[in-house]
Structure 1
Amino acid sequence: MAAWRGADRVLSRSLLEPTVGELLATLPGLAEADPDEGADVYGDGVVARLEQRVAELLGMEDAAFFPSGTMAQQVALRCWAGRTGNPVVALHPMSHPELWEGGALSVVSGLRTVHPTREARQPTAREVAELAEPFGTLMLELPLREAGFLLPTWEELVALVEAARERDAVVHFDGARLWESTVQLGRPLPEIAGLADSVYVSFYKSLGGLSGAALAGPAALVGEARVWRHRYGGQIFRQFPQALSALAGLERELPRLPSYVAQARVVAAALREGFAEAGLPWFRVHPEVPHTHQFQVWLPYEADRLTEAGLRQAESTGRVLFRRWSPAGPPAVSLTELELTSPSLSWTPSDIRTAVADFASYL
């Protein structure tokens, strides 16, 4: 962490880096906060203002703030199960509820999941149409992070939604990173969100907020979700720091995301060139043309060896190209995720190729 914090050139600042003091120092200027505005109490004030802003941005009737996306999404799927009368949720096995929520959909909410596909890609409309059993809700993670931040095309997304409707199912978007999906899908946020019956969005992923999420959809559904939010322990007395940081992210980072996506595509191409020039035995940048400002890099080395090489590069040169690596499945193959934000915009393709050659020298 010290090496990352001390680097003068990075592609993105890690959310893990700031100290308590640094975070506190950002609060007075968040979203041009009015220091005389009344503090929020159980979701009014600035929290309600954030909810209204999210509903406007997504073109939805209403939105509710949640302390976590995990809670927001479980509540959404639970509410839809009650309304459809079907507790079965169709989703990808690599989606967040299946991998990172401790089985909460079944343990807490009594829901059951089915998988249109097990391949590391978005499902197809045909796979949804041909699922062997009825389901009440189709949940689509946009983008699908674990598969490489992958998005369908706009036409594929429309077909997926239509296939679910033909099965008498509702559609929920896991839009933790929906904010940056407009470039690949070629549509504005209200048109994308308008395909779904409900959408969850995150405030710390992509927007850089402290924490928190929102569930947006019809007013009746969001009203019911607020009741369940209280039951789940999410009706918190005061949340103005999270709400202010979310508003700041919507104001400052949301307009910049298209430029980050464009830079990600430049960096991905330069990485491929750099790896080839460095003579690495095998590499993969996935997807070759990133769908968002995040993508995967795969290399044929043990994860610890790659992480150590990146650390040595950061300490020696002040440049952070890669951070932590993880085993990718096959023996001696590892992957890392790259995120391109404001600091990356100063990097040229030549800078990337030079940094790749330097990184390779530490292997």
Structure 2
Amino acid sequence: MIRSMTDTAEQSTEQSAQERLRERRSVAHRTAERVLSRAGFRRTLREQLALLQDAAPRVYDLDEPGDIYGNRVVEALEERVATLLGTESAAFFPTGTMAQQIALRCWAGRTGNPTVALHALAHPEVHERDAFSLVSGLHPVRVTSEPRPPTADEVRDVAEPFGALMLELPLRDAGFLLPSWEELTEVVEAARERDAVVHFDGARLWESTVHFGRPLDEIAGLADSVYVSFYKSLDGIGGAALAGPKTLVEEAKTWRHRYGGMVFQQFPTVLSALVGLERELPRLPEYVAHARVVAAALREGFADAGVPWTRVHPEEPHTHEFQVWLPYDTDVLGEAAVRQAEGTGTLLFGAPWDRGGPGLGVTEVTVRADGLMWTAGDVKAAVADFVARVTEVTAEVSR
């Protein structure tokens, strides 16, 4: 009983420390003079409203009536997405979780098979609390657990029939990885050989054009349906779209209503999505190119600082996001990152550090407009300062 009470107290103390660190990191994001990425959701409400008011007139006539249950400005966004992705139709959804569940249950009804083949690291398997099976009656089966995109042979070797293959492009939890164009076409063909449809989880599909060397409509054209997000890369308030054949999209709209996704008015979110398509989409290739500069500088900076082992993954980022692995405890890394921002106004690592193994931390790095101002020399200087702070925090912990 005494041990249980002690354990509970220790857990409460640890949780409080983590909450304090999260709050300090949030403040650091808002106040730092130099960041690699300053996502819109970190702005104040006043700042977000001001930016939307400034940008929205450039993407839609604000003298038009507002939307009601998915018409007007919502339809304009849907048409824009369908055009960009080269599909017959598209439907706006409040969340990607809802959009993908509905898409795959619609396909299950058409194929007669509720089994969905997907990667073990795919978003529905890791981040959605078994929603596929508990909410939508789908049966997920894992193609592979390896931290890389699935191969055509693995798709062919799935031990049971499946009605749909879901591919996350890029595979975020494996390091924002994309297959080569040849590998992707082979995987799609392998699914076709098994009479399965192909659905792309394209939450971050927008920035995949550089790696594939293909336009969006050609990439999306490989799949039977595609989901895209408006806030992950386009810096919108939220929202998602499902794109594909008109008959599928019309059926999905029916299910959208049943799932509670028929929102009365959605114009702030939709306008922010249109702004993102106008402002951020054309810049994504530039972000991807500079992410490769930043990744190389990080790798060189840690080597120069004498860190015994580091990993920038992938070595050449496939998108404008990638992972950094360091041989230190996550609490040490998180504290050092925040101290650097508090002490210098430079926030090199703004995302949380997760445990990658004993004494090993991993974080995600995103390069957006703010990051374009960083030279390779700026990155290396920030790395040297960060490593010094890691050493400082490590010494404090060991005392």
Shorter-chain TM-score range: over 0.9
Structure 1 contact 79–225 (Cα < 8 Å) conserved: yes
Q: In structure 1, the residue corresponding to 2:97 is in which secondary structure?
A: helix
Deviations 1:300-347 (A, max 9, x none): 111111111111110111111002433333111011100000011111
**C-alpha contact (below 8 Å) 2:351/2:365 kept by paired residues:** no
Alignment match of 1:133 (pick from 147, 160, 182): 160
- 1:188-223 CA-to-partner distances (Å, cap 9, x unmatched) read 000000000000000001000000000000000000
Given that 1:325 and 1:334 are in contact with CA atoms closer than 8 Å, whether structure 2 keeps it comes out as no
Show the counterpart of 2:192. 165
* 1:30 equivalent in structure 2: 55
Name the structure 2 match of 1:331. 358
Taking the aligned partners of 1:94 and 1:156, their CA distance within structure 2 comes to 18
User: So what's the TM-score if we normalise by structure 2?
Assistant: 0.90
Gaps of 5+ in 1: none
Cα separation, 2, equivalents of 1:16 and 1:253: 15
Matching of residue 289 in structure 1 with residue 316 in structure 2: yes
1:44 to 2:64 alignment: no
Report the residue type matching 1:14 in the other structure. A
Q: CA deviation at 1:27?
A: 2.4
Q: Deviations over 1:145-168 (max 9, x none)?
A: 000000000000000000000000
Aligned to 1:10: 35
Is the aligned partner of 1:222 residue 2:249?
Answer: yes
- Give the corresponding residue for 1:150: 177
Quick check: which has more Rg, 1 or 2? Answer: 2
Letter in 1 for 2:29: W
* Sequence identity (%): 67
1:22 offset after TM fit, Å? Answer: 1.2
1:249 alignment counterpart: 276
1:210-263 deviation line (CA, Å, top 9, x unaligned) = 000000000000000000000000000000001100000000000000000000
| 1:212 to 2:239 alignment | yes
Rounded Cα–Cα distance in structure 1 between residues aligned with 2:211 and 2:34: 27
Residue in structure 2 matching 1:87, options 114, 124, 146: 114
* Secondary structure in 2 matching 1:214: strand
Equivalent-residue separation in structure 2 for 1:114 and 1:268 (angstroms): 34
Measured in 2, the distance between the counterparts of 1:14 and 1:53 equals: 23
**Could you tell me which residue of structure 1 aligns to residue 394 of structure 2?**
none
**Could you tell me whether the CA contact under 8 Å between 1:40 and 1:238 is conserved in 2?**
yes
One-letter identity of the residue aligned with 2:36: L
- Quote how far apart the aligned CAs of 1:26 are: 1.9
Root-mean-square deviation (CA, aligned residues, Å) is 0.9
> Counterpart of 2:151?
124
Q: Which residue number in structure 1 is paired with residue 136 of structure 2? A: 109
The secondary structure found in structure 2 opposite 1:77 is helix
The reply to whether residue 259 of structure 1 matches residue 286 of structure 2 is yes
Q: How many equivalent pairs are there?
A: 363
Say which is worse superposed, 136-145 or 297-306, in terms of deviation: 297-306
Matching residue within 80, 87, 106 for 1:60: 87
Distance 1:56 1:324, change over 3 A: closer
For 1:143 and 1:288, the matched residues in 2 are separated by: 15
**Superposition deviation, residue 115 in structure 1:** 1.2
- Counterpart CA distance in 2 for 1:218 and 1:35 is 30
How many Å separate the matches in 1 of 2:356 and 2:83?
42
Deviation at 1:15, TM superposition (A): 4.2
User: What letter corresponds to residue 55 of structure 1 in structure 2?
Assistant: A
The alignment's TM-score, normalised by the length of structure 1, stands at: 0.98
Q: Aligned partner of 2:108: which letter?
A: A
Return the alpha-carbon distance in structure 1 between the equivalents of residues 44 and 386 of structure 2. 28
**Match in the other structure for 1:344:** 371
Alignment gaps of 5+ in structure 2: 1-25, 391-399
